[in-house]
Amino acid sequence: MSIAKLAILGGGQMGAGIAQVAASNGIDVTLIKATPGSSDPVKATIEKSLTRLVEKEKMSQAGAMEVMGRIAFTDDLGAVATADLFIESIIEDIEVKKAKFAEVDRIMKPQGILASNTSTLAITEMQDATERSERFIGLHFFNPPTAMKLVEVVPTRTTDPSVTSVAIGFCERLGKTPVLVADSTGFIVNRLLTPYMVDAMRCLEAGLSDIHGIDTAMQLGANHPMGPLALADYIGLDIVHAMATNLYESFGLEHMKPTRTLDHLVAEGILGRKSKLGFYDYSESPPVPNPALHG
């Protein structure tokens, strides 16, 4: 089985990015908006991304139009009926995800494969909401999907090996590098990365250094492309908080627990780049450390 038709639920940065990558590699995509309202902003996001590629001469205008022609936009979940693969990319709320998977399971053709793009939640718990656990798998893409090469492929104990093979082939067709991972909270990357970011916040709280010092130390001392606090802002502090909470609840290890600073920022709606303020103030160019956070 090969994937010719893909349906994606969720028109955020991840869903739109996966749609663009799939369409750029010859796959017909239906992008289903998970929240009320027009799909025009989602469409505009993809068009803007493709325009940048055209301007950089990495794609022709005709090629960009061809990619857009492979993507259909809708808010009708019934569009999953004929898809070979369905990827869920919505809010990191297990109950919301389970409800959507149960609904999709009733609509999708029997041979269709269900997948979640969750960053930390248990694939097994989601598959239990369906009647096709053997055709259920995790496909964790990374942000932004148009650039990041890794996909964590997460079969469960009941996933049919043929489904895992199809999933791996799908990722490779998209030019990604799939890595097989056991179904465990956080998988590989976020199990290691999230405690690193929250420990950086603990360093700030302890007065070990300021925001700039912590990030500069890890950039120059560990050759990281950005520091842990800037990275948390990039991911979204609400997402980092959710990942840390899921890890702490799963493993009970203190170094995985959200910090008081992270709790406070998320409660105040200070979420990083997307809110223009986090550990850095993005109203400035270039961004400057948030003066309210001194540790």
Q: Report whether 185 contacts 247 (CB < 8 A).
A: yes
**What is the rounded CA–CA span in Å between residue 97 and residue 90?**
7
Active-site pick, 89, 190, 246, 290: 190
Per-residue tokens: 44:
């505009």
Phi-psi region of 276 (alpha: psi -120 to 50; beta: other; left: phi over 0): left
DSSP secondary structure of 125-175? HHHTTSS-GGGEEEEEE-SSTTT--EEEEEE-TTS-HHHHHHHHHHHHHTT
Q: What type of residue sits at position 240? A: V
**What is the rounded CA–CA span in Å between residue 275 and residue 270?**
6
Q: Report whether 195 contacts 277 (CB < 8 A).
A: no
Does the annotation count 140 as an active-site position?
Answer: yes
Could you give phi then psi for residue 217, rounded to 5 degrees?
Answer: -60, -45
Does the annotation count 290 as an active-site position?
Answer: no
Angle at 75 between CA 72 and CA 78, to 5 degrees: 85
Active-site pick, 152, 241, 246, 290: 152
Per-residue tokens: 56:
């950089």
Does the annotation count 119 as an active-site position?
Answer: yes
Pairing of strands 113-116, 85-88: parallel
Does the annotation count 190 as an active-site position?
Answer: yes
Active-site pick, 24, 116, 117, 119: 119
Active-site pick, 24, 88, 117, 140: 140
**What is the rounded CA–CA span in Å between residue 142 and residue 128?**
25
User: Which residues belong to the active site?
Assistant: 119, 140, 152, 190
